[in-house]
């Protein structure tokens, strides 16, 4: 039973030495408990935030020496719980480890799924984030221009595809020519701009001649700065994340841009709203499941995954994802059967 623990709190981009792999005996379930074996582990940017002490209103940080947390698709290996049986496949929070015990409270039975790992991505947390963020917070309307950051990623690719099927014009932003080609040719977006190339603000203005109605924010930094002058009167900005800053240890130098932001929000009546997807499961998950199942079955939404193999490779895959080496939802195959 291997597990990946947090060995040190990172400074900047996490390094392999911030993680440690430990070997422990497989635990035995007590009455009411279930023994799970991880088949798929989800790797998500929020895990970077949990590696350090973050402020209130967010999840608890991982303690030094404790296993990294994370969503998993797990198999029930042994059960002393009435509702779960050996062989069941469940959505769990087993973290970065081969085996885990659960009381059953946080488990969701998955039944038969053709591709169970999608329960961690487009059919699960990240797809749901795209759905709530774009539809409930972004309030997208047909004919509007939607700009999507990290557009080939787990959340962004689904945001862009839902925006298209609602009749919007979608301009994506991604890192590198290959991702931009994928965004236009495979995902069907109207344009995609490489944020690593110079003159992003000028290129974005040219790609959005009537301005931006909805900006789906996952990145912050230079991308947000290029977007801000183009936001139209009454624009909506669902704030999903700001990954460009997750590895920063200090405030960036230079003049304070906060007054410019406040003036823009006020004068153009821009609505910017942060959201944490955990708040929306009770009210919106069933609608999401129904709609997304239909969109995926009809081919209107495609779900792409980046797969790493083996728990021991989870730290490197995580570091790679934070730097944009993933195309689509990053998962790790931990056990095949
Ligand atoms: P992705 O699959 O999109 O992977 C992260 C991507 O971020 C990378 O592939 C990279 O794409 C992009 N990126 C990294 N650094 C930078 C940078 N400096 N500038 C621009 N882009 C960068 O991850 P997810 O889809 O899982 O998550 C996307 C965002 O959504 C994150 O901010 C995450 O924290 C947030 N999130 C928020 C939730 C909520 O409840 N609010 C729930 C789930 C996710 P590229 O190569 O294109 O630059």
pLDDT, tens digit, for every residue of 93-104?
999 999 999 999
- Per the model's pLDDT, the better-predicted residue between 292 and 112 turns out to be 292
Provide φ and ψ at 110, rounded to 5°. -100, -15
Give the pLDDT of residue 53.
81
Ligand 1 atom showing the smallest separation from residue 306 Cα: 2
- pLDDT recorded at residue 253: 86
Helix (H) or strand (E) holding 194: strand 191-194
* DSSP code, position 246: T
Name the least confident of 65-79, 125-139, 252-266: 252-266
ipTM for the complex shown = 0.99
244 Cα nearest atom in ligand 1? 18
Residue nearest to atom 38 of ligand 1 (CA): 240
For residues 305-332, average pLDDT: 98
**Does the fold of domain 125-277 match that of domain 2-118+304-333?**
no
**How do beta strands 191-194 and 169-174 pair?**
parallel
Whether residue 337 is predicted with pLDDT greater than 60 in this model: the reply is no
Average pLDDT over residues 200-224: 97
Cβ neighbours of residue 92 closer than 8 Å, sequence gap 6 or more: 36, 38, 71, 72, 73, 74, 100, 102, 106, 107
Residues 196-201, mean pLDDT to the nearest whole number: 98
The answer to whether residue 197 scores a pLDDT higher than 90 is yes
**pLDDT for the residue 314:** 98
- Give the nearest ligand 1 atom to 195 CA: 20
Q: How far is the CA of 19 from the centre of ligand 1 (A)?
A: 21
Q: Tell me how far apart the alpha carbons of residues 204 and 146 are, in angstroms, rounded to a whole number.
A: 12
Task: Give me 309's structure tokens.
Answer: 């193999």
CATH top class, domain 125-277? alpha beta
Report the mean per-residue pLDDT for the chain: 96
Question: Over 70: is that where the pLDDT of 87 sits?
Answer: yes
Q: Are 192 and 169 in contact (CB under 8 A)?
A: no
Q: Which two tokens stand for residue 283?
A: 């009210």
Select from 324, 327, 329 the residue to mutate for testing ligand 1; criterion: most ligand atoms less than 8 Å from CB.
Answer: 324
Interval 287-314: pLDDT, tens: 999 999 999 999 999 999 999 999 999 9
Q: Which residues line ligand 1 (CB under 6 A)?
A: 44-46, 126, 129, 150, 152-156, 174-175, 179, 195, 218-219, 221, 223, 240-241, 243-244, 275-277, 321, 324, 326, 330
pLDDT at 251: 84
Distance 242 CA to ligand 1 centre (A): 7
DSSP codes of every residue in 59-71: PPPPPTTSBPP--
CA of 75 to the centre of ligand 1 (A): 28
Atom of ligand 1 nearest to the CA of 241: 32
**Averaged over 138-167, what is the pLDDT?**
98
- Domain residue extents for the chain: 2-118+304-333, 125-277
Residue 57 scores a pLDDT above 70:
no
What does the chain come to in residues? 337
Q: Are 117 and 72 in contact (CB under 8 A)?
A: no
Atom of ligand 1 nearest to the CA of 245: 18
Q: Average pLDDT in the 79-92 region?
A: 97
Residue 171 is predicted with a pLDDT of 98
**Degrees (nearest 5) of the Cα angle 20, 328, 72?**
45
Q: Residue for token digits 């969109």?
A: 295
Q: 10 Å Cβ neighbour count for 271?
A: 13
Which of 211-235 are b and which e, b meaning 16 or more Cβ less than 10 Å from the residue's Cβ?
A: bbbbbbbbbbeebbebbbebbbeeb
| Interatomic CA distance for residues 69 and 148, integer angstroms | 28
Collect all residues with Cβ–Cβ distance below 8 Å to 8 and sequence separation of at least 6. Answer: 17, 18, 64
Write the CATH number of the domain with boundaries 2-118+304-333. 3.90.180.10
How much of the chain exceeds pLDDT 90, in percent?
A: 92
């Amino acid at each position: 039973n291997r597990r990946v623990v947090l060995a040190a709190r990172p400074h900047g981009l996490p390094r392999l030495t911030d993680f440690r792999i430990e070997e422990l005996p497989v635990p035995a379930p007590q009455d009411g408990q279930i023994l799970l074996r991880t088949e798929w582990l989800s790797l998500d940017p929020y895990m970077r935030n949990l590696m350090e002490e973050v402020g209130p209103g967010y999840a608890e940080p991982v303690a030094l020496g404790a296993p990294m947390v994370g969503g998993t698709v797990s198999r029930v290996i042994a059960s002393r719980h009435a509702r779960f049986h050996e062989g069941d496949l469940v959505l769990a929070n087993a973290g970065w480890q081969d085996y885990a015990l659960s009381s059953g409270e946080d488990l969701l039975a998955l039944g038969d799924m053709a591709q169970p790992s999608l329960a961690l991505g487009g059919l699960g947390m990240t797809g749901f984030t795209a759905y709530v963020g774009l539809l409930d917070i972004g309030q997208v309307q047909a004919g509007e221009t939607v700009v999507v950051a990290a557009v080939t990623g787990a959340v962004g690719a689904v945001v862009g595809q839902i925006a298209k099927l609602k009749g919007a014009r979608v301009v994506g932003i991604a890192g590198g020519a290959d991702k931009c080609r994928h965004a236009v040719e495979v995902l069907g977006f109207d344009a995609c701009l490489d944020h690593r190339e110079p003159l992003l603000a000028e290129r974005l203005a040219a790609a959005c001649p009537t301005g931006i109605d909805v900006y789906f924010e996952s990145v912050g930094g230079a991308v947000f700065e290029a977007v801000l002058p183009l936001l139209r009167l009454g624009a909506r900005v669902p704030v999903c994340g700001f990954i460009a800053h997750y590895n920063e240890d200090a405030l960036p130098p230079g003049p304070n841009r906060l007054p410019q932001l406040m003036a823009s929000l006020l004068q153009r009546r821009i609505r910017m709203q942060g959201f944490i997807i955990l708040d929306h499961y009770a009210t919106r998950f069933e609608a999401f499941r129904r709609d997304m199942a239909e969109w995926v079955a009809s081919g209107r939404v495609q779900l792409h995954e980046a797969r790493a193999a083996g728990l021991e490779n989870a730290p490197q895959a995580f570091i790679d994802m934070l730097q944009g080496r993933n195309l689509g939802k990053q998962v790790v195959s931990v056990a095949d059967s």
